[in-house]
């Protein structure tokens, strides 16, 4: 049996251990499951993608909207819950 040593943020480790505990397993067991799935899948067993919220285009848009709001070029939109529900239909 091999030992693997990795570095991970303390908070990430604590949260992962808590979830594993809730599932009735150790972090070591979860890591072994990941490795086995990695092998059987032939790659990372989940989708990897960049969150579009953090794209340069979206960040520029958000900065523009905030700047316009801060300089009085736009106003907040207020809707009642009933109006929002009507928009949903």
Token pair, residue 19, equals 């979830």
> Which structural domains are found in the chain, ordered by start?
1-47 (1.10.1220), 52-88 (no CATH)
Number of other CB atoms surrounding residue 58 within 10 Å: 12
Residue 74 is given by DSSP the state S
Rounded to an integer, the average pLDDT of 52-68 is: 92
The first and second tokens of residue 50, run together, are 């960049």
Q: What is the pTM of this model?
A: 0.55
pLDDT exceeds 80 at position 89: no
2-53 pLDDT, tens digit each: 999 999 999 999 999 999 999 999 999 999 999 999 999 999 999 888 888 9
Note the pLDDT of residue 49: 84
Cβ–Cβ < 8 Å for 27, 17:
yes
CA–CA gap between residue 37 and residue 63 (Å, rounded): 41
DSSP-based three-state secondary structure for 45 = coil
């Amino acid at each position: 049996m091999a030992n693997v040593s990795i570095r991970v943020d303390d908070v990430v480790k604590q949260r992962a251990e808590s979830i594993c505990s809730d599932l009735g397993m150790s972090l070591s067991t979860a890591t072994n499951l990941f490795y086995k799935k990695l092998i059987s899948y032939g790659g990372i067993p989940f989708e990897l993608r960049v969150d579009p919220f953090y794209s340069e285009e979206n960040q520029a848009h958000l900065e523009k909207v905030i700047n316009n709001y801060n300089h009085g070029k736009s106003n907040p939109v207020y809707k009642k819950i009933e109006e929002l529900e009507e928009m949903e239909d």
